Amino acid sequence: MAYFYDEPSHTFSEYLLVPGYTGPENIPANVSLKTPLVKFKKGETPAIMMNIPLVSAIMQSVSNDTLAIALAKEGGVSFIYGSQSIENEAAMVRRVKNYKAGFVVSDSNLTPDATLADVLELKEKSGHSTCAVTSDGTANGKLVGIISSRDYRVSRMSLDTKVSTFMTPLDKMVTAPEGTSLKEANDIIWDHKLNNLPIVDKSGKLVAFVFRKDYSQHKENPNELLDSHKRYIVGAGINSRDFRDRVPALVEAGADVLCIDSSEGYSCWQAEAIKWIREKYGDTVKVGAGNVVDGEGFRFLADAGADFIKIGIGGGSICITRETKGIGRGQATAVIDVAKARDEYYKEKGIYIPICSDGGIVYDYHLTLALAMGSDFCMLGRYFARFDESPTNKVLVKGTYMKEYWGEGSARARNWARYDLGGDKKLSFVEGVDSYVPYAGSLHDNVALTLSKIRHTMSNCGANSIEELQKKAKLTLVSSVSIVEGGAHDVLVKDTNTNN
């Protein structure tokens, strides 16, 4: 007969942390959220350490190059979605790697023959008031001028006025040559009281802008996650079908880490993909695998050579795998089980393989629970889909701004490769939904709030690091009535916004 587990599986909402002793050193400012992204041997340093325990999900509606840059600025890693052409995914990775902190490639460009109407339309579209005027209207065309809001007055000018007549021409601009360092560029900005500084190459073509406002933002992001060449670190998703073509393209584009994107990772196809990567690249290419929900699945992928292992089946807010196929496990129970297997593997082999909790995060405190239960970091989809930097549209739904959010197994994404079991190249039935999530503003502001909550909770537990939290954490199951007791009750709440 079938094997039956003695205990039911549990979700994060069924647990609470019991506070530990808080000493004078246990203050949020002293809490480090550094965590390993890839495996390492005992006594060695991981090849990639993150500064915060957050990565973004491998989804069309979440992880593109824009979000990858924004999250790397905070210290985390995005995994560019793989359900697109190899060329497009590699191009996104390349854009992240080519982006230099503080050096912004212009996304608002016009030709001298454009009109004021074009300027206003571009400003509405991009949200930026500074427009580069180049000979061909491209981001890297020959620079001939610049337009800012101080160069025109809509009330006193005709909309068909040519840009060339009111732009600030090149001979009245301060520019800097390609190769100028960020410090040198900021010094020029301050010395000349500029709002921005165009960087141009030897032939006069625009390379990038450095903005005055970005100086303070750079100072506000001490956790930026950079590689040895001071480029942002970025991940990319792959599948178990076209990896022989996709992996080389992503490696060439500069991807720092890969991850096999699959709804269920305990399979021969994932082992085959990892084996091919190891035979071709050895350990130089880092690749995560998953998803699994028990120690047996972890051990399989660990022995296959995975650099990190993702946990979770059916727990995502847009995932209906449990409904359609009846497989999965409560996320908290899955994390606890896999963490035990990870620790046993480390004791036996002397190799520490980070584990990632993927799905099941509803509230910010669930992240702290996942870390306390043994996760090294968490992968989030819905959380990041709400922000300005995600690639989806912001729409007005019944008077409230929302952002579109759909699963990789939905009819919209049609990501059949994620659910591939060796059959036809098609999605036989959907395992995800198409939905909306409440718009939440900028990634920076929201992540800062989330991390503040994590640090405060860790201080309550007497822990100043994730490793220390996992050693000191005391967890208790809660009853259904105590869950009710834990929220606001028996009052009329004025404001229901919890920022989760």
DSSP secondary structure letter of residue 45: P
- Tell me the two tokens of residue 277: 């990567």
- For residues 76 and 124, the answer to whether their CB atoms sit within 8 Å is no
Rounded distance between C-alpha atoms, residue 169 and residue 164, angstroms: 8
Rg (CA), the chain: 25
- Tell me the two tokens of residue 402: 């929302």
DSSP count for the chain of H helices, then E strands: 16, 24
Residue ranges of the alpha helices (H) in 326-462? 331-349, 364-372, 382-385, 443-460
Among the listed residues 246, 342, 386, 418, the single catalytic one is 418
Rounded distance between C-alpha atoms, residue 188 and residue 199, angstroms: 11
Residue 259 a catalytic site member:
no
Nearest to 98, CA basis, from 196, 223, 207, 202 = 207
Rounded distance between C-alpha atoms, residue 308 and residue 353, angstroms: 5
**CB crowding 447-458: b at 16 or more within 10 Å, else e:** beebbebbbebb
From the CB of residue 433, how many other CB atoms can be counted at a distance below 10 Å? 18
For residue 3, the number of C-alpha atoms closer than 13 Å in the C-beta half-sphere is: 1
DSSP secondary structure letter of residue 387: B
CA atoms 201, 203, 207, 209: torsion sign = positive
Rounded distance between C-alpha atoms, residue 102 and residue 319, angstroms: 37
Rounded distance between C-alpha atoms, residue 223 and residue 76, angstroms: 9
Could you give the C-alpha distances from 339 to 288, 297, 471, in angstroms and in order?
A: 16, 12, 12
Could you give the C-alpha distances from 162 to 61, 114, 133, in angstroms and in order?
A: 38, 6, 12
- Tell me the two tokens of residue 153: 């007055």
74 three-class SS: helix
Cβ neighbours for 148, distance < 8 A, ≥ 6 positions apart: 129, 130, 131, 168, 195, 196
- Tell me the two tokens of residue 116: 């004021």
Among the listed residues 319, 356, 378, 461, the single catalytic one is 319
The number of angstroms, rounded, from the C-alpha of 364 to the middle of its chain's C-alpha atoms is: 16
- For residues 143 and 133, the answer to whether their CB atoms sit within 8 Å is yes
Rounded distance between C-alpha atoms, residue 421 and residue 321, angstroms: 14
Residue 418 a catalytic site member:
yes
Instruction: List residues bridging with 143 in a β-sheet.
Output: 134
- Tell me the two tokens of residue 214: 């970005």
Catalytic residues: 319, 418
